[in-house]
Amino acid sequence: MSTATILDGKAIADETIARVAGETAALAARGVTPGLATVLVGEDPASQAYVASKGRAAKSCGFHSEQHTLPDATREADLLALVEKLNRDPKIHGILVQLPLPKAIDAARVLEAIDPRKDVDGFHPINVGLLSIGEMARALVPCTPAGAMIMLDKACAALGTSLAGKEAVVIGRSNIVGKPMAQLLLQRHCTVTIAHSRTRTLPAVARRADVLVAAVGQPEMVRGDWVKPGAIVVDVGINRVPGEGLDAAGKPKTRLVGDVAYAEAAEVAGAITPVPGGVGRMTVAMLMANTLEAARRAAG
C-alpha cells in the first residue's frame, strides 16, 4: 500500500485564495482594490472555461474584475490597442490575455505589449529576465510553476525536509512551465537538471531526482520505476484520455491523467501531487496572488 503523502491541490489552492482575499480586504481598507482584466479572443470552449474560472476567483478574492471578449476575426492592431488601454487604466493591476490566440495574431507581440508590472502571467521577457537574475521583489512569476513551488514547500513540511541541496529533475523545457520551474528550484538551492524530448536515458535521469517535476504533456509517461524511493513527485501534466463507457449524451467518456503513472509512482514516492486535484488547482490561485502583488507594488 502507498505511504506517499498526497498533496491536495484543492485544499492548498483554497488556502491561497483565502489568504489573498484577507490581504485584499486589508489593501482595500487603504483605498486600493486589485483589478484583473482578462482578454479572450475567439470562442475556444476550453479558453472560455479557463477565463470564466479566473473571473470567478477574482470576484471571490474581492477584486475588481473585467472580461473583454473579442471575436475570432479581431485584428492584431485592435487587440494591441485594448492592451494599451488596459496598461493605462489605473483600476487594472493585472492583464491576462488568454492563450492560444488566433493564428493571424502574433502572440509574442501581444504579450510583449503588456506592461511588465501588470503581466500577471509572468510571460513578458522583462519578467523572464527578472526571474532568471533572482530579482523576486520586481518579477512576476508564471502561475503554474509558482503554484508547484507552494506544493513542494507543503511536501517538504510534511516530510520534515527542505529543498536546499536536493537533486531536482524537471522534465519539460517550455517557457511557461519547465524553464521557470527550473529557475525557481535553482533559487531554492536545488541542483537542477532540465530534461526534455532529446534527453538520453530519461528514466535513469529521473531516478536521480529527490524532486521530480513532470511537465511534458504525455499521458502517464513517468513510470513507477523512474521514481527514486522517497522522492517528491510534482505532476504538472493535464492530459485527456479515453475513459470507460458512454456519457449521458452517448459520447465516449474521457478522463484526465497526468504525465506520471500515479498509482505506480505513489507506491514509491515520499509525496506526490494527483491529477486532477493537484497542481492544476494552483494555477488560478497564483494568478490571484500575482494580481494582489501587482496592486500592492502599484500602491507602493
Chain contacts with ligand NAD (rule: CB under 6 A): 144, 171-174, 176-178, 195-197, 199, 202, 215-218, 236-239, 279-280, 283
Nearer to ligand NAD, 127 or 144 (CB): 144
Which of 119, 121, 210, 259 is labelled catalytic?
Answer: 121
Annotated active-site residue 218? The verdict is no
**Is residue 166 among the annotated active site residues?**
no
Choice between 237 and 274, CB closer to ligand NAD: 237
Q: Report strand pairing: 271-272 vs 232-235.
A: parallel
CA–CA distance, 267 with 258 (Å, rounded to integer): 16
64 is written with which cell numbers? 475588481
Active-site residue, selected from the candidate residues 14, 67, 78, 98:
98
Residue 282 beta carbon to ligand NAD: minimum distance, rounded to whole angstroms: 7
Shortest distance in whole angstroms from residue 248 CB to ligand NAD: 26
Answer yes or no: 98 catalytic. Answer: yes
Residue nearest ligand NAD by beta-carbon distance: 174
> Which listed residue (54, 118, 154, 179) is catalytic?
54
Pick between residue 201 and residue 229 the one whose CB is nearest to ligand NAD.
Answer: 201
Q: How far is the CB of 233 from ligand NAD (least distance, A)?
A: 14
CB nearer to ligand NAD: give 113 or 181: 181
Least separation in angstroms between CB 209 and ligand NAD: 14
Which residue's CB is nearer to ligand NAD, number 146 or number 216?
Answer: 216
Distance in Å, CB of 200 to ligand NAD, minimum? 11
Active site residues: 54, 98, 121
